[in-house]
Structure 1
């Protein structure tokens, strides 16, 4: 998969009155280089509509497009990959369905990260680092201690996620993260493009970019 630094996930509840594609395009123009469609409430028909629109957008800007949970939707729109949680279809079974498409796995402890890496995940999510309101079924925060563990041991790409804001991202970067995911801080921002650029500026400070 193409490497990435700033991962933006959809969260329509954080931008009422704004079109999904408009919001996500602003994120891309600000520097987000991987986009995930995550929607726990829409019907399959509505999910397909949104996925098609985001697939068109991401192709236009040549950024990676991931669909959360719904393998059928990802295949229907030829998304670049899927993202699965610990309670979703096992990685090895998902691989049979999606072939060489990207598979990302959410992890909350180092054992889950090790297993995902061993089973062939293309990347993992590490989190939630801080308390977050972006997911109803969220587990307890893993803190930056888990970020440090992943940075020390995991060799596939990992992205820190969960409650990450401009005011606390320095803690995550200092712990060893080189890829950041944000939801509400990006899509709920009055200046989406500017917020993404500020994240990247902070990342550059730590990574010498």
Structure 2
């Protein structure tokens, strides 16, 4: 069986039978391991509030590994450099066009590196700002103004960018929001409860969209 179709079979099986997610490990020296409490807290919030049944065992997978095809949802974050080899980029592209979903959350400082590396993944596609009326802002909770602002860095408005394949949003890049910080344990950043709640609700929207589209 062709490797590409084997990957598709693995991914489709995962999509049908599991709601699993993983942290994406990448090369380049960036801190892919940032926000260690974020995803466990988000999973618990979703399972408690939007009737998901997401596996609470958050695993780590390398971008160039076939293992990414076991997870319908991948989360990537960090502050610094990102590097994808040609094999990494091809693997990630096949994953995304086969039905997978990648959320990249800029934890401040990641943007110039990840935008450059994404050109290896989709040479003919551009990150496009997602309009506020897109369903990702209303799948579980209403965000009529779009992506919420969780942490201040450069004083810029939060933006949600995406890459689409055949009209499906396959990659979400959240910028100037730092939404993952809002998912962390309260004592990590001492965010007000209403700010954490906004972050978790928007995270729930992202997960619900990824698992149902």
Q: TM-score, normalised by structure 1?
A: 0.35
Q: TM-score, normalised by structure 2?
A: 0.34
